[in-house]
């Protein structure tokens, strides 16, 4: 257990908030694995300032299991921490520090267990996958997964170790994030006929999005414990105008559409884009250079699988006979989208994530470590 706690402390010590490069932690992990005789593969972003990393422990044959985690954490700015967020403090059976729950402890358990994996002479491999920029929209993982599909033998299952209190999650909503930029024409507020208000058209589009959100609430997901049990729509940021007596030339707002697995996402997005086009046409009648632009970032949901190999594996490793759904997005849907059987199961509670004085219970670390020991034994049998 001490080696796991030391690894958690080491990983947390790297300030990997998403505004920073994650290369220092990747350098450390790569060197740690290399010292044990395990080679790693990097998949960089376009800037070369961030990288995914994946590594294979055991024979590079079919039937492996992927243990997936992200290296980045959310910011600590303006949060009321009572300790240094990047120094792990052990107190009252808990480990405090940014990323202890979400989700460096899972990766630390896996890394600290590599010597045991090597000593077990496993017949099938365990693949470690570590991504960048999960917290800003699961940006990095797809590039790594695409390369894994091309370079690795067939994978039996993927376990994404987000904090679930070691429960097995087989479903979460998809995330469709939109950034809307509206350009109108400024004029004096006493002469609206000479301008074109970006704010007014933004308000009309937001009203339509609100109406869509109200409609989504009527499609209740049955038979699954998920709160709320319907798809949701939210407007998170609104920025428009520069003065009370100036017609707003520019307005920007964001929306967040989180869909259930059975939603016709394409139809919903088509409706949004069609309404935006209608508004843009009206604006152009007043000002030909007016525009409405929508940039989308989509993270696929995780769908329950019939007789899923990942679910069956997690049941075996945890001893649990039930599954849950989680309300937050993860990289699990990206693995599943590329053909991998995938489930979410990891130590710690999402209730502690993103908060000041984030922590993980040592009992959860022990449960996570026990599951990995059982996985090693399974891969060696």
DSSP state, residue 44: E
Told to judge if 72 belongs to the known catalytic residues of this protein, a careful annotator would answer: yes
Exposed e or buried b for every residue in 254-266, given b needs 16+ CB within 10 A? ebbbbbbbebebe
Q: Count Cα neighbours of 55 within 13 Å in the Cβ-side half-sphere.
A: 23
Buried b (16+ CB within 10 A) or exposed e, 224-244: eebeebbbebebeeeebbeee
Helical pair 23-35 and 105-112, crossing angle rounded to 10 deg: 20
List the alpha helices (DSSP H) in the chain.
Answer: 2-13, 23-35, 105-112, 114-119, 141-151, 198-216, 265-286, 309-318, 332-337, 362-380
The catalytic position among 15, 72, 162, 186 is: 72
CB atoms within 10 A of CB 184: 26
Q: Cα–Cα distance between 343 and 350 in angstroms, integer?
A: 16
Q: CA end-to-end span of the chain, whole Å?
A: 24
C-alpha span between 301 and 240 (Å, rounded): 32
Which of 134, 162, 186, 358 is catalytic? The answer is 134
What burial class does residue 132 get, using C-beta atoms within 10 Å of its C-beta: 0-12 exposed, 13-18 middle, 19+ buried?
buried
Q: Is the dihedral of CA 19, 23, 28, 33 positive or negative?
A: positive
Burial (CB count within 10 angstroms: exposed 0-12, middle 13-18, buried 19+), residue 347: buried
Q: Is 15 a catalytic residue?
A: no
Hey, which residues are catalytic here?
A: 72, 134
């Amino acid at each position: 257990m001490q080696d796991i706690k030391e690894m958690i402390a080491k990983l947390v010590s790297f300030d990997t908030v998403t505004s920073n490069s994650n290369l220092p932690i990747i350098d450390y992990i790569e060197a740690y694995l290399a010292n044990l005789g395990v080679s790693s593969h990097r998949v960089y972003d376009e800037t070369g300032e961030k990288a995914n990393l994946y590594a294979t422990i055991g024979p590079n044959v079919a039937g492996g299991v992927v243990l997936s985690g992200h290296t980045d954490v959310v910011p600590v700015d303006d949060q009321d921490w009572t300790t240094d967020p990047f120094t792990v403090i052990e107190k009252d059976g808990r480990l405090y520090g940014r990323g202890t729950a979400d989700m460096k402890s899972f990766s630390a358990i896996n890394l600290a267990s590599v010597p045991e994996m090597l000593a077990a002479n496993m017949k099938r491999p365990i693949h470690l996958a570590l991504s960048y920029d999960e917290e800003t929209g699961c940006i990095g993982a797809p590039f790594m997964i695409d390369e894994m599909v091309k370079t690795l033998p067939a994978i039996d299952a993927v376990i994404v170790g987000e904090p679930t209190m070691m429960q097995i999650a087989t479903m979460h909503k998809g995330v469709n994030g939109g950034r809307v930029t509206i350009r109108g024409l400024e004029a004096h507020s006493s002469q609206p006929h000479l301008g074109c208000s970006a704010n007014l058209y933004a308000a009309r589009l937001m009203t339509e999005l609100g109406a869509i959100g109200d409609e989504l609430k009527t499609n209740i997901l049955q038979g699954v414990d998920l709160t709320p049990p319907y798809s949701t729509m939210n407007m998170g940021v609104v920025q428009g105008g520069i003065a009370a007596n100036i017609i707003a030339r520019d307005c920007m707002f964001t929306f967040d559409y989180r869909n259930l697995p059975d939603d016709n996402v394409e139809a919903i997005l088509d409706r949004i884009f069609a309404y935006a086009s209608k508004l843009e046409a009206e604006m152009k009648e007043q000002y030909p250079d007016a525009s409405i632009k929508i940039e989308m970032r989509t993270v696929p949901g995780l769908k329950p699988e019939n007789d899923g190999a990942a679910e069956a594996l997690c049941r075996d490793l945890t001893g649990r006979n039930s599954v849950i759904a989680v309300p937050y997005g993860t990289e699990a849907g990206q693995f599943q989208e590329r053909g991998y059987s995938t489930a979410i199961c990891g130590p710690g509670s999402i209730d502690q994530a993103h908060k000041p004085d984030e922590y993980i219970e040592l009992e959860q670390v022990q449960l996570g470590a026990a599951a990995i020991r059982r996985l090693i034994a399974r891969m060696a049998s």
